[in-house]
Structure formats: structure tokens, C-alpha cells
Amino acid sequence: MARRLDSSAPSFAVEFRALVDERRATAPDVARDVSAIIADVKTRGDRALIDYTKRFDRMALTADRLRISPDEIDAASRSCPPKVIDALKFAAARIEAYHAHQRPEALDYKDALGVRLGARWRPIAAAGLYVPGGTASYPSSVLMNVLPAKVAGVERIVMVVPTPDGALEPAVLAAAKLAGVSEIYRIGGAQAVAALAFGTATIAPVDKIVGPGNAYVAEAKRQVYGVVGIDSIAGPSEILVVSDAKSDPAWIAADLLSQAEHDEAAQAILITDDAGFASRVEAEVTAQLTNLPRGNIAAASWARFGATIVVKRLDEAPALIDAIAPEHLELALDDPAPLAHAVQHAGAIFLGRHTPEAIGDYVAGPNHVLPTSRSARFSSGLGVLDFMTRSSIVACDASSFAALAPAAITLAEIEGLSGHARALSIRLGRSSDK
């Protein structure tokens, strides 16, 4: 059973702090192993990829078989039921349309001194997407990671996906084809991340790597950061639901379990102003776990990391929400707007009783790649700007330069950078040497 906290209890502050600070990551320390794999791929390239694929995915490959062929992609797509293809198309259209609104506008103006100032945006040249394989099959994540890059104008998008025992997941390849990705490699793990970062004879390097993965993938992304960009180091999934007693307890229980089923380290939290409603939701969670296919995972998550928090008034919720900074925040209320306005930190906010978090995972439009582990305090969900760079622009004529330079020379001299001062003063026809 999940823990119950009551904001009116004398021990609440201590218990809530413990909930917020609780470490949920259960990944083993794999840094040394990952470092060795990355070094091996840098040294041996394709040969290392082939060896690791045989070892971990039980597949004997040659260099020319690392890439999944267009015929294999087409065959996988054709094998998907029509309703799956239709659902992917529906989701893709909504995701692409939403992200099109994120395209930034260039900045270009002259200030009062006549200095031209601006900023321009350009897409990165190449992006790499890691897609989990094995028991995980997330075609929706393919769409969520690829389409912002496509909207940004990235010309080369590369996908890597492990195929244990040679198994190709049709829906994943169908999603890739639909999103316009044709360069796909049947490799996974830290070795795939290394190949994307450093390149091999077969795989050209990329500029940024995005997408979820296991502990080895996460650690590999951490280690190659700086050589390439990355989206984030994702932690276990999480949801926080705020609801009064007007909601159907079965609905709220289902929403909590929708995230608990991801991982035993996932977290589901309910905040309500009605203790009786909290009890009804808890009873519904117990009942629904009996027929949930991933019930064992969800039950472990709920028992270890789940919580219900009873407050005297719902206006206590924003401070609690901001402390947790949840990945997903549901406000299951008749009028969620005032509470949503008061919240500062949340990855995605779902407003009203008919907007479950699960709608955002697939077809709402906004990205489902969101900050976890309280990182919503300082980061945002994946978007178009993550696949673009911004260059500032400055242009002075003789007059505007003369207006700026004296102050710049003074600052350069204070910092002891005489070369900087000379580069400025020489254009004014005087020396900055003392």
C-alpha cells in the first residue's frame, strides 16, 4: 500500500521532505563498463559493434548488415494492422502540427546608437535517436523524438534500435518510415551511443543524441556529452494528480497506474482535500491491479514509491507540486486554471477531468519526452529548439562603433586584456598602451 501523508499532521513537513528527497533510481554503477565499451568502439569501429551485437543480442552480423534495409522497413510497415498505421498517422499529424508552432523567429533590429543586433536560428546537421528494443516497443517515442527534429529542418536523422535474436518490431519501423527516417541500424546499448557520437566506417557521427534507454545507454549518453549534445538523462516516470472528491475514483486510480506500470521505480502521487476520496482511490488502485497485465510492476511501484497526500485546502497544492516538480501533472478539477497558473514547475500539465496524462503520451500533440527527477525546476520537454542552434548577430558602422568602444576599452583594461583594448582603440585611431 502506498504511504498516506496528511498536511495537518505535526510530522508532515518531515515526511513530505523524505518523499521529495527519496532516491528512486535503482540502476547499477556501470560507468567503468560503459567507458570500456566506448573506447572499444572508438578504436575498432564496426568490428566492435558486430562483436557486441553477437554478445548481447545474439546476432551474427557483418558490416553490410548493420543497417536495416529499405526492403525490411517496408515489409515491417506492411505487416502492421491498418488501424495501427492509421493511429500512427493521426498521432504524427498532431505532433508535427503542434511542434510547427515552436519554430522560432529571427531577431533583427537597430538600437538607439545605430548598432544592428539580432539572432538567427539554424538546424543542427544530424541527429541520432536511440530506440529501446527487446520487450520495449514504443513507436510513439519514435514520433515524439523524430518529428521535432524534422520540423526544425534537420537534414539527417539516424535511428539505432537493438534487435535481440533478429526480431524487428514492425510498429517501430513503421513509425520511423512515417516520420521520414530511412537510416536505421540494428544496434543498441552503449556501443550504439558510441557509434552515433564518434562514428565508424559504416555510421557517420551525429551532432545530438536523443531517446530513452537502459542504465548503459543513459551512462553512455552522459559520457559522450560534450562530444555531442544529448536531450537529458531520463529517470523513472512520474505522475502527480490533484483531484477533489467530484472525480470518479476509478478514473484517478487508472491515471496513477498508467505511470506506475512503466517501471518499479516509477512514482504516482495523489493530492486531494478529501480523506474519504483518497481511500476510495486507494481501494480502486488495489482492485485494478488484479487485472492489469503489468500489474506486478505497477504494484511494486505503488507500494514502494506511491503516495496520497491529504490537504486541508487545495490551495496548499501549488507549493507541494513545485517541490516535487513532477514530470506529469494532472489537475482533475472543474476549474483547473487558477491552480495551473499558480504552479511553477511541471513537465506537462493536463487540465480537467477528461484530460488524462495518457492522452499526452500519444495523440495530444505536445512532446512526451519530459524532465524527470525534479529536473522540471530547470529544464523543459523535448522540442524544436533542441534541434536548433542560435547565433547572435552584431553589426556596427563607424559611428555606432565609436559610441560603444570607449566603455569596452575601459572594461578590457580593467581585466588586463590589452590585446582586446588594442583591437578596439586601433579603430579609433589611438593607442591603448600606457
Angle at CA 203, nearest 5°, toward 231 and 136? 50
List Cβ neighbours of 264 (8 Å cut-off, separation of 6 or more). Answer: 26, 297, 300, 301, 304
H, E, C per residue of 332-386: ECCCCHHHHHHCCCCCEEEECCCCCHHHHHHCCCCCCCCCCCCHHHCCCCCCHHH
Amino acid at 131: V
Instruction: Indicate which residue of 262, 328, 345, 368 is catalytic.
Output: 328
Cβ atoms 173, 142 nearer than 8 A: no
The domain limits of the chain are 3-25+235-364, 31-104+132-230, 396-428
CATH of domain 31-104+132-230: 3.40.50.1980
All 3 cell numbers of residue 75?
A: 515489409
Instruction: Indicate which residue of 238, 284, 327, 357 is catalytic.
Output: 327
Residue-wise pLDDT tens digits, 107-149: 999 999 999 999 999 999 999 999 988 656 799 999 999 999 9
Q: Is 328 an active-site residue?
A: yes
Question: What is the model's pTM?
Answer: 0.94
Residues with pLDDT less than 70, the chain: 25-27, 134-136, 430-434
Check residue 434 and give its pLDDT.
Answer: 45
Provide DSSP, 251-318.
HHHHHHHHHHTT-TT-EEEEEES-HHHHHHHHHHHHHHHTT-TTHHHHHHHHHHH-EEEE-SSGGGHH
Check residue 306 and give its pLDDT.
Answer: 97
List Cβ neighbours of 206 (8 Å cut-off, separation of 6 or more). Answer: 126, 127, 128, 156, 158, 196, 197, 228
Residue-wise pLDDT tens digits, 409-420: 999 999 999 999
CATH 3.50.50.60 fits 3-25+235-364, yes or no: no
Alpha-carbon span 302 to 305, nearest angstrom: 6
| Closest C-alpha among 218, 242, 244 to residue 232 | 218
31-104+132-230: same fold as 3-25+235-364? yes
The residue assigned the cell 526492403 is: 71
Instruction: Sort residue 134 into left (φ over 0), alpha (ψ -120 to 50) or beta.
Output: left
